[in-house]
Amino acid sequence: MFKKILIANRGEIACRVIATARKMGIATVAVYSEADREARHVLLADEAVLLGPAPSRESYLVADKIIAAAKQTGAEAIHPGYGFLSENEDFARRVEEEGLVFVGPKHYSIAAMGDKIASKKLAKEARVNTIPGWNDAIESAEAAVQIAKDIGYPVMIKASAGGGGKGLRVAFNDKEAFEGFTSCRNEARNSFGDDRVFIEKFVEEPRHIEIQVLGDAHGNVIYLNERECSIQRRHQKVIEEAPSPFISDATRKAMGEQAVALAKAVRYQSAGTVEFVVGKDQSFYFLEMNTRLQVEHPVTECITGLDLVELMIRVAAGEKLPLAQGQVKREGWAIECRINAEDPFRNFLPSTGRLVRFTPPAQSMWQADTAELFGVRVDTGVQDGGEIPMYYDSMIAKLIVHGKDRNDAIRLMREALNGFVIRGISSNIPFQAALLAHPKFVAGDFNTGFIAEHYGKGFSSEDVPHEDPDFLVALAAFVRRKSRERAAGISGQLPGYAVNAGQDYVVITLAADGRHVHMPVHVDEFVGAVGQARVRVGGRSYEIRSDSRLNDICIAGTVNGQPFIVQVERGTLKNPLALRLQHNGTLIEALVISPRMAELHRLMPFKAPPDMSRFVLSPMPGLLVDVAVQPGQKVQAGERVAVIEAMKMENVLFAAADGVVGKVLAAKGESLAVDQPIVEFV
C-alpha cells in the first residue's frame, strides 16, 4: 500500500480523498493555486505545494507542475479527483512513465472511452445497446440533414469531444438539423479544437441513469447498482439519487451486465461510470463512459456501504476487489443535492465572495465511514469565513441523505436544506427546496426535461409556495415575544418604564407587489413554560415549542406536534428591526410590532427605490473582461455593452434601450460586485 499520495485537485473532492487516505494511514499532499492559499483542502492535507496563479490553465491543469510536486514530496501515487486532468489520457500516461501510480483507469481505457464516436463503436462491438445514429464524422450540413431524415426526427447533433452541454443541439426538422450542425461544429472547434460532429436518435421523455462499475488489475469487474441523474439544468446535474424510482429489477440487471461487458472490453481498472439514456418504455442506450470518480458517488456509497475512494486506491495498489457481484448490497434510498454558489432568482448567475456564515446541517454520516449510514452527510471544500473564488466551478457543497425509503430520504433532505445556513453569497438552496416539494418529483414522475418544462421561464419566489405561510407569521411573533420576555426580565428597570411583553402583535410582511400586509397575531403564554407558546393567526392556532436560543440562526422545535427547522436572522439591510425567516425554500421578512406602532407604521410615507434604468449594472460578482462602448457613443437596444467572466462562464451584457453613453464607470480588468454600475447613459 502507498505511504503517500498527491491529490491533483481542489475543493470538496480533494477533501473527500484526504478523508479516506487518513483512514487508511496514507499521508497526503495537496496542491493549490494562489486563489486557494487558505482553502480547506490545503489545511487538511499533511503537505501542500503551490502550483501557480489562480487560473486553472496556469495551475491545476499544468501536468509538469503536478508531477514535479509529487516527486518533490515523495508521493508514490496521484489521485486526480474529477474534472481538471482526471480524464486526460496524456496525463495518466505521463504519471506512469515517471514511475508514479495514477489512481484511476489505465491511459488506454481513458483513450478508448474519451472519444464519443470511438466509444460508441466499441460499445457496439461489446454488444451494449447503442442509440440508432451515424457514428462517423459528418462532413457537411447537407449530409447532416440527409442522415437526420434517414434516422427519423427528432435527432440529437453532438460534438465528438463535447461536454458540459457545449456542442449539442436537438433538431425536429430539416432546418433545425442544418443550423444545428453548423452551430455544433463551430462551438466544438472553438471549445475543444475538434470539429467532428455526429448524429443520433433523440430519445423522447428520456431519463439519465448511470451504472457505477468497479474493476481491478486481475480482470474482475462488478457493477454497484445505478444512479438516477435526470434532474438536470442545461445538462448539468442538480439532484441525484440511488436507486432509480423508475427502472425495474430486470432493467437494472441488464444495464449492469452491459456496463460490466463494456468495462471488460477496455480492460477497465478503477471506479468508473457507464451512462445510459433510458426511454419511457425502459429501453436503454449507451451514452458515454466517465473514466473517473463521479461527483455523485456518495449516493452509491450509502446504498452499498462501500467506500469508493478506498476501493480506487486499493485497486491502484494492485489489490483484488474485496467482493463479488452477488455480495453488492442495495439498502435504503440516498439523495444528493448539489449546493452551488449561484443566484436562482437571477437566472442562476454565479455568486462569488466571502462566506460570512457557512453552517451545514448536523451530520450523522461521514466521508470514508460507511459504518454510520441512514442520516445526513455534507461533502464540502469550504468553511466559515472562506472565499468562493471566481475562477473555478460553482459547487460549494454536496448535501447527501440516506433514508429507509424514497419518501423518508425526501423528508430528510428537506429538513437538511432548512438547516443549511449560507450567508455572504447566494446559493441554489431555495431552488432545491422547490424541486423536492414538486408533486411530480415526489411521485418519481420526471425526465431530463423536468426543469426546462416546469421552470423554463426562470425561477422566482412565486415558484416556492409555502404549504402554510401563516406558520412563518406565527413563528415571527413567537421569536419576538420571547425576545420581549427576556427584556422584561432584566432587573433595575425604572417604575412605569418597564418592558411589557404583551400578547397582541401585528406582523407586517411585504407582498409580491411591494405592498405591506398587516396581520394581527395573539400570543397565549403557557404559564411557567419556557420556550413554549400558543400563537393565533387569523382563525388558526399554532402551539410552538422550541429549546433554541434567541441568538441561534436556526430555530428547531415542534409546531402542533410536528418537527420544524427554520432559519431566523434578526435585522435586514432594509430594516434592522425586522426578522428574516427561511423555510422550505420560502423567505419572508417580517416586522413584529405592537398594534399602536402598526397604526403609526401605516402613516409612514412609501420610499420608492432609486431609478437605475440609466445604468448598466453588473448582474453578479465577476471580472470585467471587456467594455465595448465609450463616452459619447450612440448605442442601440440589444447592442453589446460589456462582458463579465465568473466561474468559467462569460456573460455578455446588452443595452436594454437606445441611448448615448454618458460615463463608463468601471475599467477593464476590474473585479465587480453585484449591481455595481458599469455604464451610465444620458
Question: What positions carry a catalytic annotation?
Answer: 288
User: 3-class SS at 313?
Assistant: helix
With both helix axes pointing from N to C terminus, report the angle between 406-418 and 429-437 in degrees, rounded to the nearest 10.
150
3-state helix, strand, coil in the chain (%, to 5): 30, 35, 40
| Cell digits of residue 636 | 442601440
Closest CA to 503 of 535, 473, 459, 471: 535
Q: Which residues of 194-217 are buried (b: 16+ CB within 10 A; e: fewer)?
A: ebbbbbbbbbeebbbbbbbbbbbb
Closest CA to 273 of 87, 17, 73: 87
Task: Report how far residue 431's alpha carbon sits from residue 351's, in angstroms, rounded to the nearest whole number.
Answer: 15
Strand partners, 354: 387
Q: What residue spans of 34-173 are helical by DSSP H? A: 40-44, 63-73, 89-97, 107-114, 116-125, 141-151
Contacts of 480 (CB under 8 A, 6+ apart): 505, 579, 592
Under a CB-based contact definition with an 8 Å cutoff, are residues 418 and 352 in contact? no
Task: Report how far residue 177's alpha carbon sits from residue 183's, in angstroms, rounded to the nearest whole number.
Answer: 10
Q: Which DSSP letter does residue 366 get?
A: B
Task: Report how far residue 58's alpha carbon sits from residue 507's, in angstroms, rounded to the nearest whole number.
Answer: 54
Amino acid, single-letter form, for residue 273:
T
Contacts of 513 (CB under 8 A, 6+ apart): none
Strand partners, 562: 559
Closest CA to 400 of 367, 371, 426: 367
| Cell digits of residue 70 | 509529487
Task: Report how far residue 89's alpha carbon sits from residue 416's, in angstroms, rounded to the nearest whole number.
Answer: 39
Closest CA to 645 of 620, 667, 666: 620
CA angle 631, 632, 638 (to 5 degrees): 85
Please report, for residues 426, 515, 620, the alpha-carbon distance to residue 16 in angstroms, rounded to integers and kept in the order given: 24, 48, 29
Task: Report how far residue 70's alpha carbon sits from residue 30's, in angstroms, rounded to the nearest whole number.
Answer: 10
